[in-house]
A and B are shown apart, each in its own frame.
Chain A
Amino acid sequence: MMTYRFKFSKGEEIKFIGHLDIVQAFQRSIKRADLPIAYSNGFNPHQQIDFASPLSLGYVSEGEYGDLKLTQDLEPKEVMERLNAVLPDGMVIKELIRRRDGVKNTMASVSAGRYKAYLDSRITPKMVEENLENYFALKEIIVMKKTKKNFKETDIKPDIFQLINASEGESAIIEMVIAAGSTRNLKPESVAEGFYNFVGVEYNKFKIGFKRMDIYMVIDEKLVPLTYGVEF
């Protein structure tokens, strides 16, 4: 038995495929690659593969993570190549390593995420430059957050760790590091919404593109990628 941790990207081609379908697509790819995947015991055996954190529909990503367990110890390079040969367009494994035992699974490790928000053309790079610092300097940032039943005013400021003006040419881009995981979790949409409110432009989430850049866990009080220090 060998557990592997992998990092993959989710491109434009596949951004409208939701989390559960991505899991399904992975499972089928493993079958097509004919990898000796381990199955859980029990009545309804399923493949031993799990993922760090679901990505919202419509997002692209350069930093998705998962763990998978094989019944044989194959070379990571081989596993990665065989999977990449059969994964759907837009899904590419960029890194795959043997994982030590005793490491928490990806899902339990997640503490923060890095994202880019591609704002629509009503916001110029100059507006970002002029306002982002002041926006981040606010004592509290109140946005309406959806709860199970309705909307509630919430202060998202404590969950924002960093904001960067990442604009390129004509397009206004905000890069952010924000809380993620089971205890504290912030949606990048809320950060963008707060910024639109701050500069007084009506917010429309359908006009904004989002990309997850990476997912982090905390080791020695530092944020590190989920592949950091877990290699066998």
Chain B
Amino acid sequence: MKNAIPDEILLQVEKPARYVGREVNMVKKDPENVDIRFAFCFPDVYEVGMSHLGLQILYYFLNRREDTYCERVFSPWTDLEEKMRENNIPLFALESQEPLRKFDFVGFTLQYELCYTNLINMLDMSNIPVLSCDRTDDDPIIICGGSCAYNPEPLADFVDIFYLGEGEVLYDQILDMYKAHKKAGGSKAEFLESLLELDGLYMPKFYDVSYKENGEIESFKPNHPKARKTIKKVIVTDMDNVFYPEKQLVPLIEVVHDRVTLELFRGCIRGCRFCQAGFVYRPVREKTAPTLLEQAKNLVKCSGHEEISLISLSTSDFTCFPELANGLLDEFKDKLVNISLPSLRIDAFSIELMEKVQEVRKSSLTFAAEAGTQRLRNVVNKNLTEEVILDGCKLAFDGGWTKVKMYFMLGLPTETEEDLRGIGALTDKIVEKFFEIPKENRPKPVTVNASASCFVPKPFTPFQWDAQDTYESFGEKARIAKRSITRKQVRFTYHNTKMSSLEGVMARGDRRIGAVIYKAWENGCRYDGWTDKFNWEGWTNAFEETGVDPAFYANRVRSYDEILPWDHISVGVSRQFLINEREKALRAEVTPNCRQECSNCGAKTFGGGVCYDDIQV
């Protein structure tokens, strides 16, 4: 097989291995011998995309079908893009090295809002018309999934189908229907119409939207008799029997995460009010420990990786965590396989576990405190007290840890200067805690890295109606927080404020944002999530040129009766629940987690998961 890019060019770009495929466990099929060709696109660079668990799962899930060949596509880095355009080389898939235009489906996974210009760019580099309305029956069908698909409107002009939910549920049906349709010689338009039978799929062309004079949405209506008023996400309910790959693609160059990933459960019981994942993935559905141990053994063997990472939104909440952790320790402790435990709550059990599984000296301890005061932590329903943090630090310092990472958010609703100064107060106390242990027990000086992100209100969270701070105000708040730190052992950094502003616009954008994204792409914006590529001027010009006011989307409070751009989509959590949560937030009241007490958020309608845990049959 010949590379799509000639050697002469590959030798002149950074990391040419990004573009040639042939990794360990790559699926090989003859494209001539399949009915359906599916290009799985990740709109970011190779090393990021290859570390994404969803890609690994769907890749093998789709390829388990003999009639389908799923191939991978990543966004070429800017150095290669330049050369491809210069030499008229279209974007290609890694497996066959063939251009995307030949494919039946071109699918994108949308993991963060700042990849939208990359999506446009990848379509354009494939010589596929960027706007859906310009595409013909000869062009592939563009389908998008991933967490950003829950507010699909900013990309509505470019995408044919948004898949809302977990890929394992519907893809077989979609592909079966497609195959039958193709055999019968049906048109693309007819195929999309036939998909209206299925829930979980949103096809923008079947809906019309109109606006009021003040810019708010006046109406959002189906224009096809079969189009649903609300489209509900689809999810897996039986996690033990859902497909999980027996293999994992093992890259031949270093990527962001080089390790076996084990997915413990989906969803989160906590309901932190700023966290979109905590709402859109409800309810919690767990795998059992024996299933996971089996999968771990398999994946370690077929990958040769020396690290297993347990993936979930909050690992300590996994009900079989002790059983799983001990099982993994037994299995792997002599085989020099590391176990990495992100998203762990720091308590006696986890400290003991971390001492067993990892190099004490190397790792650092992480607390997502999110806010500097208890009041504000209650507002966001972050169930973590100062006492717990300080106790955890004490345990860790006694165990030999000297590095602590603290995550905070700037600009949370109701935040005051006192909350910002609380960041300094809390981190200072952690340093003091360290000095409480006897000098001879301190292996190294302590460092506390406090890093602050800028709050971005997201759809399907209780703060979806709230205003985001402007980037100027984020900057001011960051300075206040920084000044509040007195200890020299504390290092404070904060996220790019302009990037967060842009993310704020994209996250809650409507269809009119599509024109801005297109313009920004024309202005040269790419890789908007990369600090060194971020082109603020390209974006501000795009807003000006399209006459769209970013503040309308980012910095405005909405009323409860305004039609929100994503109101036609249901993640199971009811609007009323979100309103209640917001009202409680303003009163700094907390809500118990799903295991303490069900708050009837609405996710019970899926008929599984944590909502039914207490019900004994």
A27 to chain B: which residues have CB within 8 Å? 304
**Shortest CB–CB separation between residue B1 and chain A, in angstroms?**
9
Which one of A10-18, A103-111, A133-141, A164-172 is at the B interface? A10-18
B254 nearest in chain A by CB position: A21
Q: Determine the distance from Cα of A184 to Cα of B16 in the docked complex, in whole angstroms.
A: 29
**Interface size range of chain B in the complex:** 20 to 34
B7 to chain A: which residues have CB within 8 Å? 58, 206, 209
Q: Out of B23, B254, B300, B306, which one reaches A88, CB within 8 Å? A: B23
Interchain CB contact under 8 A, A21 and B11: no
**Shortest CB–CB separation between residue B79 and chain A, in angstroms?**
14
B24 within 8 A of A: yes
**Interface residue SS majority, chain A:** helix
Known: A16-B20, A21-B252. A58 touches B304 (CB 8 A): no
Known: A58-B11, A206-B11. A32 touches B304 (CB 8 A): yes
Interchain CB contact under 8 A, A206 and B304: no
A229 within 8 A of B: no
Interchain CB contact under 8 A, B11 and A29: no
Q: Determine the distance from Cα of A29 to Cα of B305 in the docked complex, in whole angstroms.
A: 9
A-B contact count (CB 8 A): 61
Interchain CB contact under 8 A, B303 and A28: yes
**Shortest CB–CB separation between residue B181 and chain A, in angstroms?**
36
Interchain CB contact under 8 A, A39 and B336: yes
Interchain CB contact under 8 A, B254 and A16: no
B254 to chain A: which residues have CB within 8 Å? 21, 24
A14 to chain B: which residues have CB within 8 Å? 22, 252
Interchain CB contact under 8 A, A16 and B16: yes
A34 nearest in chain B by CB position: B301
Interchain CB contact under 8 A, B24 and A90: no
Interface size on A, residues (CB 8 A): 27
Interchain CB contact under 8 A, B304 and A28: yes
B22 to chain A: which residues have CB within 8 Å? 13-14, 88-90
Q: Out of A17, A29, A205, which one reaches B304, CB within 8 Å? A: A29
A70 to chain B: which residues have CB within 8 Å? none
Q: Determine the distance from Cα of A222 to Cα of B328 in the docked complex, in whole angstroms.
A: 54
Q: Determine the distance from Cα of A90 to Cα of B26 in the docked complex, in whole angstroms.
A: 13
A residues 55-90 near B (Cβ < 8 Å) are: 57-58, 86, 88-90
Chain A residues within 8 Å of B, Cβ to Cβ = 13-14, 16-18, 21, 24-25, 27-32, 34, 39, 45, 57-58, 86, 88-90, 205-207, 209
Not counting A31-B305, A32-B301, A206-B11, a sample of 11 additional A-B residue pairs whose C-beta atoms are within 8 angstroms of each other reads A13-B20, A16-B20, A21-B254, A25-B24, A28-B24, A32-B304, A57-B11, A58-B16, A86-B304, A206-B8, A209-B7
Chain B residues within 8 Å of A, Cβ to Cβ = 7-8, 10-12, 16-17, 20, 22-24, 250, 252-254, 300-306, 336
What are 11 A-B interface contacts by the 8 Å CB criterion? A16-B10, A16-B16, A28-B303, A28-B305, A32-B24, A45-B336, A58-B10, A86-B304, A88-B22, A88-B23, A207-B8
